[in-house]
Amino acid sequence: MKALTIRQPWAGAIAHQTKRVENRTWKLPAKHHGARILIHAGAQPDRDAIVYGEHLAVYSAVVAVATLADCHFDNGNQVCCSYWAQPGLYHWELADVIALPEPVLDVRGQLGIWTPDAELIAAVEQQLQVAAS
């Protein structure tokens, strides 16, 4: 399983709201299409974002798991795929999002798609079992 660090409030909007598109300047590598991924809330917020919601102030934590369903480039000449999508960027489409009941805290993220250690994966799997019950 891989992980992706996303600044708040966007990570929380994926986990607890309707955000199912992650805007990126780079294309999702084909080998990750259809893969499950951890959604990691980075240590720093997006300072230009307006924050609404109680789950959007968690930092340095895994907050959800999602499937990387698809990726396309939005050149601004098409009907946008989501309220959250921005023109001129790649849209990584997310599906099957499961918010963790309790964020897995004190997790240091990385740029790009990264590989979490076995301890982190075990902690996330434990939270997923709680979510399923």
Query: Could you tell me the residue ranges of all domains in the chain?
Result: 2-132
Q: Using one digit for the tens of pLDDT, what is the confidence trace for 78-125?
A: 667 777 888 899 999 999 999 999 999 999 999 899 999 999 999 999
Sign (positive or negative) of CA dihedral 6, 12, 16, 17: negative
pTM of structure: 0.93
Nearest to 72 by CA among 19, 32, 3, 23: 23
CATH 2.30.130.30 corresponds to the domain 2-132: yes
DSSP 57: G
End-to-end CA gap in the chain: 22
Note the Cα 60 to chain centre separation in Å. 13
Q: How far is CA 39 from CA 60, 105, 120, in A?
A: 11, 12, 12
Render pLDDT for 32-86 as a digit per residue (tens, 0 to 9).
999 999 999 999 999 888 767 777 889 999 999 999 999 999 887 766 777 788 8
